[in-house]
A and B are shown apart, each in its own frame.
Chain A
Amino acid sequence: AQSVTQPDIHITVSEGASLELRCNYSYGATPYLFWYVQSPGQGLQLLLKYFSGDTLVQGIKGFEAEFKRSQSSFNLRKPSVHWSDAAEYFCAVGLSNFGNEKLTFGTGTRLTIIP
């Protein structure tokens, strides 16, 4: 069965510092990979996704992620965080068997930004 691990429950970074959120997956085939962000009291919004091709994908709000097959990872990065980036971040893996199309989410990483 597919699974997603986000090893960091909570990360605190200073405004303007760089950020990397870790995501590891377990899946037999090439996965569909996503990063979603959940701002306080809000629903989830897609930041970026990877299906195939270039392993470095660009997303909204200045985020990027790199797919590394050898490490089964899809880490999210941002060179300089803003206070508005404080949120919960979810990595997700898409399972694509006909009749069972669904996303499996990681447990999330809460990002706190300090001035």
Chain B
Amino acid sequence: DTAVSQTPKYLVTQMGNDKSIKCEQNLGHDTMYWYKQDSKKFLKIMFSYNNKELIINETVPNRFSPKSPDKAHLNLHINSLELGDSAVYFCASSPRLAGARETQYFGPGTRLLVL
């Protein structure tokens, strides 16, 4: 059973399009995250949610809008895609809000390529 799953695994799209990435965790965790990993493998947090409530928004452009319909799901919608959005996006979850201390469980990633 996959603990943290993401769809799609690959996403190739044109500049200016709008796309969504979905994430689901079946671990019963309260907290979920979105990370962006750039071409140099640098991994940076974008958002965190705890029980559907936004906790962290790391100065991400407002073209990125996360949505958490329930605590098991955290989706990421991106408007007006730009070339610089090309990256691998990872979803993660942790049991509680204390993300600094908790083990985070990562999904397999979504590889986004904007042409």
Query: Which of B4, B55, B99 has the most chain A CB within a 10 Å cutoff?
Result: B99
Establish whether residues A102 and B97, one from each chain, have CB atoms under 8 Å apart when the complex forms. Answer: no
Instruction: Answer whether residue A14 sits at the interface, using C-beta atoms and an 8 A cutoff.
Output: no
Instruction: Answer whether residue A51 sits at the interface, using C-beta atoms and an 8 A cutoff.
Output: yes
Which of A16-24, A64-72, A76-84, A88-96 is near enough to bind chain B? Answer: A88-96
Report how many residues on chain A are interfacial, defined by Cβ distance under 8 Å: 26
Given A45-B106, A94-B101, A102-B100, 12 more pairs with CB closer than 8 A: A32-B100, A43-B90, A43-B106, A43-B109, A44-B104, A90-B43, A95-B100, A101-B55, A101-B100, A103-B99, A108-B41, A108-B43
Establish whether residues A100 and B101, one from each chain, have CB atoms under 8 Å apart when the complex forms. Answer: no
Q: Is the interface of B mostly helix, strand, loop or mixed?
A: loop
- In the bound assembly, the distance between CA atoms of A49 and B99 in angstroms comes to 13
Chain B residues with CB under 8 Å of A108's CB are: 41-43
By Cβ-Cβ distance, the 3 closest A-B pairs, closest first, are A94-B100, A43-B106, A96-B100
Chain A residues with CB under 8 Å of B100's CB are: 32, 94-96, 101-103
Query: Which of A45, A88, A105 has the most chain B CB within a 10 Å cutoff?
Result: A105
Establish whether residues B42 and A107, one from each chain, have CB atoms under 8 Å apart when the complex forms. Answer: yes
Q: Per-residue CB proximity of B60-104 to A under 8 Å, as 1/0?
A: 000000000000000000000000000000101000011111011
- In the bound assembly, the distance between CA atoms of A43 and B41 in angstroms comes to 12
CB of B13 to closest CB in A, whole Å: 20
Establish whether residues B108 and A43, one from each chain, have CB atoms under 8 Å apart when the complex forms. Answer: yes
Establish whether residues B42 and A105, one from each chain, have CB atoms under 8 Å apart when the complex forms. Answer: yes
**Residues of A44-67 contacting chain B, CB below 8 A:** 44-46, 49, 51
- In the bound assembly, the distance between CA atoms of A36 and B100 in angstroms comes to 14
Give 26 pairs: A residue, B residue, CB < 8 Å, sorted on A.
A32-B100, A36-B106, A38-B41, A42-B109, A43-B90, A43-B106, A43-B108, A51-B101, A88-B41, A90-B43, A96-B98, A99-B55, A100-B56, A101-B56, A101-B98, A101-B101, A102-B45, A102-B48, A102-B56, A102-B100, A103-B45, A103-B100, A103-B104, A105-B42, A108-B42, A108-B43
Chain A residues with CB under 8 Å of B104's CB are: 44, 46, 103
